[in-house]
Structure 1
Amino acid sequence: MPITTTPKIWMNGNLVDWADAKVHVLTHTLHYGT
């Protein structure tokens, strides 16, 4: 199922460009889903 992108996304209290919304590979929420 493809992901529908938007021009901006809410990240860490700010609106950022979709392409700039990246998280570090070691982010715990990605590993544990908390």
Structure 2
Amino acid sequence: MKEVGKIWMNGKLVPFKDAKVHVLTHALHYSTSIFE
């Protein structure tokens, strides 16, 4: 699989290694982003 260098986060492209999700995010706890 090809490694991705950048990812879209909060309206801008950021390095993949810097993309983080906060542990208290609604999507993580309640799976609201399961289909995204």
In the superposition, the TM-score normalised over structure 1's length comes to 0.74
Q: How many residues align?
A: 32
Aligned-pair identity (%): 66
Query: What is the CA RMSD across the aligned residues, in angstroms?
Result: 1.8
More contact order relative to length (CA 8 Å, sep ≥ 6): 1
- In structure 1, runs of 5+ residues without a counterpart are none
- In structure 2, runs of 5+ residues without a counterpart are none
Instruction: Report runs of 4+ in structure 1 exceeding 2 Å deviation.
Output: none
Partner residue in 2 for 1:17 = 15
